[in-house]
Amino acid sequence: MGTQSPPTGHDVELAALSAAGDRRAYGELVRRHGSAVRGLLRRLGADSATADDLAQDAFMTGFEQAAEFRGEGTFAAWIKTIAARLYLKKVKREARLIFSDTVEPVEAVMVGEASRDAASRIDLDEALKTLSRGERLCVSLCYGADWSHAEAAEALNIPIGTVKSHVKRGLDKLRARLARPEEGARREAHG
Amino acid sequence: MAEPDFDAQLSRLFAEPPSFPDAALFNAEVAARLDRGWTMRRLFIGAAGVAAGLFAAVQILTSRFSSEVAELSKNSSHDFETEVSAAVAKVNAVLTAPASAEAVWLAAGLAVVALAFAVTRAVEEF
C-alpha cells in the first residue's frame, strides 16, 4: 500500500490484481484500453456522449467481473466484448436496431465530403459512416471486437448469412472508400 | 491477393485505437466511479454487518431472558414469591456489581462487533 508508482505488468497480471480488488491495477487497464473501447463504441454507431457513458459502464462491469477473465484471449478483446454487448442491449432496448437491405442515403453525402481530403491519411471512422447501420455494426463487431460471424449473428439475433452479406457489402464499400486516399499517399511517397 | 491484403489492412486499422484529447479525463472519471462504488459497497457491507450483529445480540439477550422467565414459571408451584425474590436478587446482583454489569455489556458489545466482522468478511468473500 505504501508505493504510489503506477502498476506495471501484463494485462493478465493486472486483471488478476483487479479481481482481488486492486483499483489502481484496474486503473492502469483503463488507461491502456480506454481509447480502444471508446473508439469501438463510436465505430459501432454510438454518438460521443453515449459511447463514453457505455465505455465507463463497460469498465465498471469489467471490474466487477474481473475474476471471470482468465487470460484465454486478450483483455482488450474481453472488455470490448462487454462494451459491444452493452451497446447492442441499449440499441435493442431503444428499438433502433433495424436491418434493411436498402442503402442509406448518407453514402452519397459522405463520399462527396470524403473527396475533399482524398490525399490525406486513411480515416476509418469517416469511411464507416458510409455504411448502412447493419453493415457498420457487422463490420465493426467482426473486425473491431474480433467476433466471429456466428457470434455476431447470435448477439444481433439475425441469421449468420445476413451477417456475412452485411460484412461483404460493408467491406466492398470500405474498400472503395479507403482505396483512394491510400493511392494518393502512395503516389506522394513515390514522389 | 487483394482480399487478404485488404482484410489485413482493415484489421490493422481497427486495431489502432483513435487518440482522444480527453483520455486522462475519461480515466479519472472511471477511477472516481470505481472509488465511489467501492465506498458505497463498504458502507453497505458495514451497515449490513452491524444490523446483523445487533439482531443477533438482541436474539441472544431475549432468549436468555425468556429462558429465565420459563424457569421461574416452572418452579412457581414451590414458592413463587421466594423464587421471584431470588431471581430479582440474582439480577440485582448481576447488575449492581460494577464488574459484572460491565462484563455483560462488554460481552454483548463484543458479540455485536464480532458478528459484524464475521458478516462483513462473509459478504466480501461472497
More confident residue, B84 or B23: B23
Residue in A with minimal Cα distance to B28: A27
Residue A69 one-letter amino acid? F
State mean pLDDT over A68-85: 92
* A81, pLDDT greater than 80: yes
**B10/A38 CB distance under 8 A:** no
- The pLDDT confidence band at residue A99, using thresholds 50, 70 and 90, is low
User: pLDDT tens for residues B24-51?
Assistant: 999 999 999 988 877 777 788 888 888 8
Nearest to A23 among B6, B11, B38 (CB): B38
Alpha-carbon distance of A78 to A12, in angstroms, equals: 11
Res A39: pLDDT: 93
* B59, pLDDT greater than 50: yes
- The pLDDT confidence band at residue A79, using thresholds 50, 70 and 90, is very high
Task: List the grid coordinates of A122.
Answer: 486513411
Q: Give CA separation, A68 vs A24, A25, A34, A79, A87, in Å.
A: 19, 16, 19, 11, 20
* B94, pLDDT greater than 80: no
State mean pLDDT over A24-51: 94
Maximum Cα–Cα distance across chain B: 107
Could you tell me if A18 and A25 are in contact, meaning their C-beta atoms sit under 8 angstroms apart? Answer: yes
**B31/A174 CB distance under 8 A:** no
User: What distance in Å separates residue A72's CA from the closest CA in chain B?
Assistant: 19
**A23/B35 CB distance under 8 A:** yes
ipTM above 0.85?
no
Could you tell me if A167 and A139 are in contact, meaning their C-beta atoms sit under 8 angstroms apart? Answer: yes
Select from B103, A120, A22 the least CA-distant residue to A8.
Answer: A22
A122 CB neighbours in chain B (<8 A) are 13
Segment 27-46 of chain B within 8 Å of chain A by CB: 27, 29-31, 33-35, 37-38
Res A2: pLDDT: 42
DSSP at A141: I
Residue in B with minimal Cα distance to A23: B34
More confident residue, B109 or A58: A58
State mean pLDDT over A73-96: 90
Select from A42, A45, A136, A23 the least CA-distant residue to A94.
Answer: A45
What residue segments make up the domains of chain B, in order of their start? 20-125
What's the mean pLDDT when you consider all of chain A?
81
DSSP at A143: I
User: pLDDT tens for residues A146-173?
Assistant: 999 999 999 998 999 999 999 999 999 9
Measured CA angle at B117 (ends B111, B118), to 5 deg: 90
DSSP labels, B59-101: HHHHHHHHHHHHHHHHTHHHHHHHHHHHHHHHHHHHHHSHHHH
